[in-house]
Structures are given as C-alpha cells and as structure tokens.
Amino acid sequence: MNINHKDGLKLNKMEKKFLRKQSKARHVLLKHEGILAVSYPTQSLVVANGGLGNGVSRKQLLLALEKCGPMEALLMPPNKPYAFVVFKTIDKSKKAYATLNGKEIIDDLGQKIILYLNFVEKAQWKKLGLQALPPGLLVVEENISSEDEKMLWESVNWTGDTGNQNFQKSLKHRRVKHFGYEFHYENNTVDKDKPLPGGLPDICNSILDKWLKEGYIKHKPDQLTINQYEPGHGIPAHIDTHSAFEDEIISLSLGSEIVMDFKHPEGVTVQVMLPRRSLLVMTGESRYLWNHEIIPRKFDTVQASEQFKGGIITSDIRDLTLSKHGIRTSFRFRKVRCMPCNCSYSSVCDVLSATVGLLHKCVFLLYAF
C-alpha cells in the first residue's frame, strides 16, 4: 500500500513538473513570438522544442508525429525552436497532444529534447519580406564535373611545407591559401607591388578560360584564395575591399554545400544555397553593396524538396529542414584593381581613404628622393 502510495506521489510530482514546463512553453511562445495557445482541442498544435532552431530535422519530427495519424502540414519556420503541425482530424491532434507531450526525442546532434505541445487556433507565421537574389548575383549549378572537383580538391596540399608561411594561414574559423597575391587580413587588401612568385596554379587555367568563354567573367583573375571550412567554421560578414579588387568576384564550391547570407545595409538578409560544384558570381550591387557571410554553425536550414538545388532559400516553411555541414573548400578568384574604384556606392566605398593612402605614399617617395 505504502509503495503504491509513494508511486502515486512521485507521478504527481512528475505531472506537476510537466505541467509547469508546458505552461512555461506557452508563456514563452506568447511573449516572444506572439503565438497564442488555446485550452480546447483543435487540429493544429505548436510543438515547443521541436524546431529547426533546436537542431530537430523535419525527418525526425515526422517520425514522432506520424505515429499519431495523417497530417495536413508540418510547418517548420527557419531558426525557430518550435514547429506547427496540422492533423487531418481533431481526434489525431488530441492523440498527439496526449502521447507526445513531455516525450523525449533525439535531435540531429544526438542530444535528447523534450517536446511540449499546445493547441493553437491557426498555424501562423509571418513570412519574410524580400525573396529575390541580390542584383548582380548568380549561382551556376553543376558548373564543373565530379572529376574536375576531385582534381581541384586533391591539388590543394594543406599539410605540405610551401617554404613560405605567407602562402598559408590557419584563421580562427578556417584554413586559407593565397596565390597570385597574398591577402592581408589586417587591412583586407593586397600588396599590389608584391605579386607572389608562380601566379595562379596551372590547374586553374582551363577552368578560367571556360568561364571567360561562357561569359561569367570578362577579365581573367590574378588572385586566388582557397578557403577550407570544417563543419562549424564560417567567414564573418564582409564586403570585399573596393580598392583592392575589380568588380567580378567568383567562388567555386567543392566538397559540400553551404548557405551564404547576403545582407543589404538597410537590413534585408537573403540566404543563398551554394551547392557543391556550383559557381557563385558576384558583380555590381551584390559585389559592392551587400555584405556576405557564412555563419559558423553545424547545420543550415535548407529546402527539403529534392528538386531544389542552388539559389535562394525561400520562406516556404512547409518545405524546410536541416542540412549537416561537411568539409567544404572554396576557390575564390579575384582580379586586383589597377585604377581607383568608380562604383556608385559611396557609403561603403573606400576609394577616398585608398586615394589618401596612395597620396601619402607618393609624398613619402618625393621626400625620400
């Protein structure tokens, strides 16, 4: 009797703890996201902790939800710790509410996550604004063959001693190698008077000729930076220095896909998928005005449908899931600028400071002689 009594108490405590957590989830959803839970059963549920932002993929959540019955939709907003599920009938959503509440599932990193479900009147989500590529940006899918990818990938010797430390560097979030000119991270430019011996690797010649012929570039690049990113690595938001490089900046993705964020100075962010073997071409506004960055994380939010490959990640939350980062190497080609920048984006252009720098150098030379 006593044991039963104790068990009863223990269950009560757990129930109380669960109710507290469920109510907290409801409170947080209302306060931070404006999502109002209701106390009566509906077809729709908000699943707290079961979101892409929590490392839960569409596949994993579906696995748990499918056991409760057929669904109309599973909406997974990007970077949010919750999802919405709409069941075909109220009976099925009631079943999910009863069986999955407080249940543990394993996220994509193998960590345990406890789900808290609440009924909602409507699965609601504010759509993101602009959904178009930044002007001047192009993603060319399947630009090189798997054989060429392998050849380029294997041509990079990360372990070998190049005999010159300036060629290769381990940055905080990636490994880099420079050809043609060394890129100086302290001032984000190159020393135009000091080209590196050897120029660009010969292996790049045929591929550069192909891009010139196909019209993706008008000028042959003379500087190459090879970046290697491990999962969790990234590159901080930046605009390639105007005074250092010409208009066309191109980047070839090898080994693994990645999502690159493009940010307009007025606040719009566009997420662009760069599949492996794709070529990213940045010209005009996308090269001069928009910041680009790879956020250091282990997963990207991507389209779930098979037919989607490169380009913009839409905000269609019926079709989003997670993609695990792999090792990615990028070949970024640029042409060192000879004349001062004449772009029309003065708010982000360093033409003035670059010219002042040049004047100082001239004055110094005058005095020196």
CB of residue 243 vs Zn ion: minimum separation in angstroms? Answer: 7
Choice between 130 and 348, CB closer to Zn ion: 348
Is residue 36 a contact point for Zn ion (CB under 5 A)?
no
CB of residue 199 vs Zn ion: minimum separation in angstroms? Answer: 26
CB of residue 348 vs Zn ion: minimum separation in angstroms? Answer: 7
CB of residue 345 vs Zn ion: minimum separation in angstroms? Answer: 6
Choice between 18 and 345, CB closer to Zn ion: 345
The residue count for binding Zn ion (CB under 5 A) is: 4
CB of residue 220 vs Zn ion: minimum separation in angstroms? Answer: 21
CB of residue 244 vs Zn ion: minimum separation in angstroms? Answer: 10
Choice between 127 and 192, CB closer to Zn ion: 192
Is residue 239 a contact point for Zn ion (CB under 5 A)?
no
Q: Mark the segment that binds Zn ion (CB under 5 A) among 10-18, 153-161, 205-213, 242-250.
A: 242-250
Is residue 129 helix, strand or coil?
coil
Contact 81, 53 (CB under 8 A): yes
Q: Where are the alpha helices (DSSP H) in the chain?
A: 2-33, 58-66, 90-100, 146-155, 205-214, 284-288, 351-368
Alpha carbon distance 153, 228 (integer Å): 10
Is residue 287 a contact point for Zn ion (CB under 5 A)?
no
Alpha carbon distance 69, 52 (integer Å): 22
Q: 147 to 206, contacts with Zn ion by CB under 5 A?
A: none
Choice between 84 and 245, CB closer to Zn ion: 245
Contact 97, 41 (CB under 8 A): yes
Alpha carbon distance 290, 262 (integer Å): 6
CA 92 to chain centre: 36
Binding characters for Zn ion, 3-22, by CB under 5 A (x = yes):
--------------------
Alpha carbon distance 353, 40 (integer Å): 64
Q: Which amino acid is at 41?
A: P
Choice between 144 and 341, CB closer to Zn ion: 341
CB of residue 336 vs Zn ion: minimum separation in angstroms? Answer: 15
Q: 330 to 349, contacts with Zn ion by CB under 5 A?
A: 341, 343, 349
Choice between 239 and 294, CB closer to Zn ion: 239
Select from 132, 113, 101 the least CA-distant residue to 57: 113
195-213 CB burial, b ≥16 within 10 A, e <16: bbeeebbeebeebbeebee
Alpha carbon distance 282, 163 (integer Å): 33
Packing angle of the helix pair 90-100, 58-66 (nearest 10 deg): 110
Is residue 240 a contact point for Zn ion (CB under 5 A)?
no
Choice between 52 and 341, CB closer to Zn ion: 341
Choice between 128 and 343, CB closer to Zn ion: 343
CB of residue 263 vs Zn ion: minimum separation in angstroms? Answer: 18
Alpha carbon distance 132, 263 (integer Å): 12
**Tokens standing for 354?**
């670059």
CB of residue 339 vs Zn ion: minimum separation in angstroms? Answer: 11
Is residue 224 a contact point for Zn ion (CB under 5 A)?
no
- Residue from 242, 292, 325, 328 touching Zn ion (CB under 5 A): that is 242
Q: Is 284 left (phi over 0), alpha (psi -120 to 50) or beta?
A: left
Q: In the complex, which residues of this chain contact Zn ion (CB under 5 A)? A: 242, 341, 343, 349
